[in-house]
Structure 1
Amino acid sequence: MNTPMFDESVLATIDDSTAAADSTGGRRRPLMFVNAAIHTLDPVIGDLAAADLLLGGDVIVGVGPGLHTAATDDEAIVIDCTGLTIVPAVVDGVAAAGLRTRPADRVGTLTPGNPATFAVVPGNIALEKIIWRPEQAAAIVVDGEIALFNGERRSPAPVEPDRSGPRAVDGPYLGMWIDETGFIHQELTADGRYDETRGGRPHAYQGSFWIDGDRIVYRDDLGFWAYGRFVDDVLHHAGYVFHRR
């Protein structure tokens, strides 16, 4: 498949603008994607046959026809998307069905004020294909940053933690955690295992855990996954609040 290619000089201009802003503490030039078919998934704005999308940092600040006429005034970097389609890269099915009561809750819609996260794709490429084969996209923008350009990643693929077997764990969160009611006692041990006592019933749940920053992910021996978060040395997990003993 031949992915429509952007002029590589556009990417160089974006990088130069970013470097200049970072070195001086100044403002980055805004990005403007022009002449695209845009599926906003916003029930008021709808689909646009030939329109422009203006970014201000990590948010969308304008969408619709005619924005490109002010590109010079805004010092925008213009990216021509003729023949391409812009679609949200995050889709909230409930919002798309019109079941969100407030416009601010319509996550993923290409609406001014929402995060600038979207894909620029050939017209015949479905969004679900981009999920599994992102290189088919001409560009993918995540929170205003171009993560993929001309089918190539601009940053390495994320490294996932090894969850294949036992391993040694070191960190500040090991030990016994007890919820505020005293019903659950959860012990995190240095071999990467957890053991829960519930209501005095020992070994109610057992399994493995992984800690990434302030987030903890559990895989129980029964097969289900769960997660929690540490906030100011307090563990929030499954609606319970735990303190270390």
Structure 2
Amino acid sequence: MTASGTTSPAVLDQLQRRSTDPKRRILFVGATIVTMDSGLGVLHDADLLVEGDTIMAVGPGLSPQSAVVVDARGTILAPGFVDTHRHAWETQLRRIMPDVDDLGAYVMSTLAGYATVYRPHDMYVGTRLAALTAIDSGITTMLDFSHNSRTAEHSDAAIQALIDTGIRGVHAAMGPHFGDWDKRWPDDLTPGSDLGRADRAAHLRRREPLRELRQPAEGP
């Protein structure tokens, strides 16, 4: 596989078919690489070799060996950004939100309006869309301040969306401000609780090391 052919469907097919291979090797060639290493600095016209989920080498003229080669000329490779506060469940409201003049009007439209009728599936849709748009803009870690966690099932759906997109994510569950909900938060985040989310959190840590369940900090 040569660099000149990396924009072809064949290369995309190679990447997709080998996506579950823990030893999959990908070589990005010809990029400007922001290493965040004081000894290396910013490298121009350089290569980056990834094996599985580990960066194995950075520098010019790396050997492709058995790697899928991606032509990265004209691009910048940098560590992923971290988004520390996003209300992911609201993402699908972007196109239908009315113009509002102040925070109060926004709260009444979203938290007291749309949020009260959200189903677990709606949580999944919003969170998945949020994670995908984050990845598309270079964000690889996201804290989802999920202040519409009406039931443990709502949290389950949001967490599943994080898992399905592959993003490194924290689901910070919080009870809603308006409408009906199970009123088990935050007690069900306590270790040893039999109310739902605590057991889910322990299971999540064992099964999905890139995802976490947390309680967000509340303001005064």
Report TM bin, short chain: 0.3 to 0.5
The structure where helix makes up a greater share of residues is: 2
> Larger Cα Rg: Structure 1 or Structure 2?
1
Give the TM-score taking structure 1 as reference length: 0.39
